[in-house]
Amino acid sequence: MSPRSGEPLAALARALGVQVRWTANDGRRHRVPPESLCGVLRALGVDLAGPADAPAALAALEADRRAALLPPLLAGRVHPGGGTGPVVPLHTEALPAKATVTVVLEDGETRSAPAPALLRPGPAGAAADPGRARLDLARLGPLPPGYHRLVLEGPGLTAQATLVLAPRRLAPPARRWAVFAPLHALRQDPDSGLGRYPDLADLARSAQESAGTAEPPLVATLPLLAGLLDGEDADPSPYRPASRLALAEHYVAPWALDELAASPEARATLAGLAEERRRLAAADDADHQAAWAATRAVLEPLAADLLHGRLGPGRLAAFGRWLGSRPLVVAYAWYRALRAAGRHRQGADAGLQTLPPGLRAALAPAAALPDPGQPAGLEPGAVGEVLALARQVPAFGLALYAQWAAERQLAAVAEDQDLLADLPVGVHPGGFDPWWLPHAFVTGASCGAPPDAFFASGQDWGLAPLHPLHWPSAGSRYLAASMRTALRFARVLRIDHVMGLHRLWLVPPGGSAVDGCYVRYPAAELRAVAVLEASRAGAAVVGEDLGTVPRRVRQAMGTDGMLRTWVWQFAARPDDPLPAVPEDALASLGTHDTPPFAAFLEEPGEERAALRARLGGDLDAALGRCLEHLGPSAARLAQVDLADLLLERRPQNRPGIAAGSFRLRHPAPPRTLLADPRARRLLGQLAATRQGGTR
């Protein structure tokens, strides 16, 4: 194909945010082949058999955009001085003199003005040029942060858009230290084969007592989201969840639930599982699926007793009130019930058709996931239908009860301990979110990373990516709801692969990672939602910005007040074993994707030997020096991994190798491990220097 014949295809790709070139981590520039561009464009919904169809597709796209008077979603920032954006582009040559602009605030208040009064002049008569007329909403006066509605009306025209106004930046968190451990890695006494929600509180108390501080540390862990632990597509990875809108059921501790005392069948079931629990506890690695099967066996009679009133009317009434405030959970539970029956493959439309009409309407995505500024809930009649259906379909009742139990146990931890939660970049393609919101995801495609020095064939993470073009209609609501799920319990939120707010490497259906290309996302809008939700929760945000990240991404993080991720393993060199740590960072020795500290230092080679020598020779001395460096550093947050304190050699995750990842468990409960004098010394030093200012 000649270069000239490829110009319409490249123009079409650029118009849709598909990058035709990309820069590798070695600095080399690569051009995306036409076949890859066509594959990704088809995945985005473009009618394109080949490059020859690009001119017609581009013309149709331009016509559609000219017909849209307003963009569907707009974002701006509220500044302390009162100036409020954004400046809104209009696809029209002029506006009628009697046109009006109204902003309907999320509390119902309205602000209106004649549209001509808001027109902002631009170069070369921009107000009269097609596609270049602009409205300056700052001229409406100060607008508060929130999710508002912009309405443009006049003779022969009407248009609406969602307006997201976020604070200019997030407030920086106080200097804190954090202890990290995957929840599945924590043991109890007696152990059950898998860590449970109450064990997070035990980790915090144990770390605080070991450090001898008055203030408990942050407790950091992997994502605590619902997973797929049954079926052919089961995957225990916390970074491939079934949903970012529901909690992990397999971390529930059934023996700690209040209603267990009133359920003889559940107590008998728990007692009968004693041998299975001992078998699971004896293993070095977590068996997520087997542990969930044992937990489910206890939750099933508890759910049945609750729904049939055998635990008392007060308990059932409390459950009903909670259901009324959680339509997303109800929709998720119905997906679980359909999945258990093998009836979920036909999609959400078919699945919701099996519900009573009133409940079907209440659980439709538009009702259960409204604009973020609007309240979501179920009417009493719909709650009654949910309870009746849960009695008839035990799998539905189980899923509802498991979410209630998970939320109560995690909320109990969050009441006393500050949590650092993790939001993964995507979800399992067979999970609830793509099933319920197919329009919001790129069907059949995946996301990952391009070829580099570590993965010559690139990476396909097997995650369903959000649709960059359909994002305004459902994606903004979905992102807000995802963040709210995590921020309901967390004081700090880590956003995995924060570059995903700007662009993702999309792998087309049927292709491999080398067939993909970068696709841009509406960064201003995504960032505005993230900042607004975090500010409303009073939480800090950490962006995982490791690897090859464009400069503009880190600049945007600084603008938004997001912390960076600083990792000693990536920064240390023999000639600089203790490099300076930036202030706007969460600093740690490694991550769940890297070798533990001991394994890293023991890797063969002259460089590792030189680094060990500079740090004192033996592992214990080296660990002490590194923690002494992190503690008084400028970093806002300094984190230590429990595995590093134990000088563990085995990795928690092996990127690119699914088998055996996210299963490693610690040898004893945190209280036992952190009572060791060596652990007390190391944690005490870290905690004391966190409170003593910067070096």
Rounded distance between C-alpha atoms, residue 173 and residue 534, angstroms = 12
Q: Look-up: residue for tokens 């009836």? A: 343
Structural tokens at position 421: 């939660």
Residue 371: per-residue pLDDT: 77
Rounded distance between C-alpha atoms, residue 198 and residue 412, angstroms = 8
Residue pLDDT, tens place only, 248-292 = 999 999 999 999 999 999 999 999 999 999 999 999 999 999 999
- The edge-to-edge listing of strands for the beta sheet with 459-463 is 459-463, 446-449, 503-507, 517-520
How many Cβ atoms are within 10 Å of 165's Cβ, its own excluded? 24
Phi, psi of 91 (to 5 degrees): -95, 70
Sign of CA dihedral 43, 49, 53, 54: positive
Q: Look-up: residue for tokens 């202890």? A: 179
Residue 124: per-residue pLDDT: 47
For residue 87, the surrounding DSSP H or E stretch is: strand 87-90
Domains of the chain: 4-66 (no CATH), 71-167 (2.60.40), 249-403 (no CATH)
Q: Look-up: residue for tokens 């060990």? A: 612
Torsion, Cα of 548, 44, 543, 416 (10° steps): -150
Calculate the alpha carbon distances from 144 to 78, 167, 313, 559 in Å: 7, 9, 43, 19
Question: Which among 598, 501, 581, 578 is positioned nearest to 544, based on CA atoms?
Answer: 501
Sign of CA dihedral 313, 315, 318, 320: negative
* Beta-strand runs (E) in 91-131: 100-104, 110-114
Residue 695: per-residue pLDDT: 38
The answer, yes or no, to whether the previous bond of 86 is cis (omega within 30 of 0) is yes
Rounded distance between C-alpha atoms, residue 359 and residue 355, angstroms = 6
* Beta-strand runs (E) in 458-549: 459-463, 492-495, 503-507, 517-520, 540-543
Residues of the chain with pLDDT under 70: 1-6, 81-85, 91-94, 121-132, 656-659, 692-695
CA 533 to chain centre: 12
Answer whether 532's CB lies under 8 Å from 145's CB.
yes
Question: Which among 270, 256, 274, 250 is positioned nearest to 184, based on CA atoms?
Answer: 250
Q: Is 49 exposed, middle or buried (0-12, 13-18, 19+ CB in 10 A)?
A: exposed
Answer whether 187's CB lies under 8 Å from 668's CB.
yes
Pairing of strands 503-507, 446-449: antiparallel
Answer whether 291's CB lies under 8 Å from 324's CB.
no
Q: Is 110 exposed, middle or buried (0-12, 13-18, 19+ CB in 10 A)?
A: exposed
Residue 603 is classified by DSSP as S
Residue pLDDT, tens place only, 162-184 = 999 999 999 999 999 999 999 99
Rounded distance between C-alpha atoms, residue 659 and residue 402, angstroms = 27
Answer whether 94's CB lies under 8 Å from 161's CB.
no
Enumerate residues 6+ apart whose C-beta is below 8 A from 33: none
Residue 6: per-residue pLDDT: 60
Rounded distance between C-alpha atoms, residue 337 and residue 654, angstroms = 33
Q: Tell me the pTM.
A: 0.94
Answer whether 328's CB lies under 8 Å from 225's CB.
no
Calculate the alpha carbon distances from 520 to 13, 480, 510 in Å: 10, 19, 21
R_g (Cα) of the chain, nearest Å: 27
Answer whether 65's CB lies under 8 Å from 47's CB.
no
